[in-house]
Amino acid sequence: MRPTRSKSWFTRFTKLTAKATGKPLAFTVAVFVIAAWAITGPIFGFSDTWQLIINTATTVITFLMVFLIQSTQNRDSEAIQVKLDELIRINKGGHNALLDLEELEEEELDKIRGDYCKIAEEARVKLRQGVLDTGVPEVKAEVEAVKREVKREKRELEQIKKRV
């Protein structure tokens, strides 16, 4: 099955360019260009202009490739996040609070990661003791945060009901 074609010319361009520059042929061409430049050094007497040509060319190419790589990486990262969110969403027992996790602040991420590190450490201890490390332990911080949110929303709803 052929993937859907991007509507944006920039997306199509970055995909095509990233695919082409990631091939062995692109690397081979780059090596030959460098070799040709090096071989012509004695012909041009290793002049400043000779050096400026390769410096300018590599600088411009590097500058443009940074944006190309960033665009491709952003698109790939977003696609992976959506796929992971879908796996969490459809998994019975999965924590929906983990959906869209990449949008949280650093401190919130660190707290959740700490909870998962504790779960991993507990599982390793059990494994060393010969106990299976399977199962779905609750992530206490997430569950508590969701409970607090539900309670807060219930209080707000009660206050609204009293006003009406």
In 3-state terms, what secondary structure has residue 161?
helix
Measured between alpha carbons, how far is 159 from 156 in angstroms, rounded to an integer? 5
Measured between alpha carbons, how far is 52 from 58 in angstroms, rounded to an integer? 10
Give me the mean pLDDT over the 152-156 stretch: 87
Contact indicator for 94, 142 with CB cutoff of 8 Å:
no
Give me the mean pLDDT over the 67-87 stretch: 88
How confident is the model at residue 143, as a pLDDT? 66
pLDDT in tens, 87-118: 888 887 777 777 787 787 888 888 888 888 88
Which residue is listed with tokens 């209080």? 155
How confident is the model at residue 142, as a pLDDT? 64
Identity of the amino acid at 159: Q
Mean pLDDT, the chain, integer: 85
- The angle at the Cα of 157, spanning 88 to 90, to the nearest 5 degrees, equals 10
How confident is the model at residue 33, as a pLDDT? 94
How confident is the model at residue 1, as a pLDDT? 52
Name 122's Cβ contacts closer than 8 Å, sequence gap at least 6.
137
pLDDT in tens, 113-143: 888 888 888 888 988 998 887 766 666 666 6
Phi-psi region of 145 (alpha: psi -120 to 50; beta: other; left: phi over 0): alpha
> Is this model's pTM higher than 0.75 or not?
no
CA 129, distance to chain mean position in Å, is 36
Q: Exposed, middle or buried, 75 (CB in 10 Å: 0-12/13-18/19+)?
A: middle
pLDDT in tens, 11-43: 888 889 988 998 999 999 999 999 999 999 999
Q: What is residue 139's DSSP assignment?
A: -
Measured between alpha carbons, how far is 116 from 141 in angstroms, rounded to an integer? 10
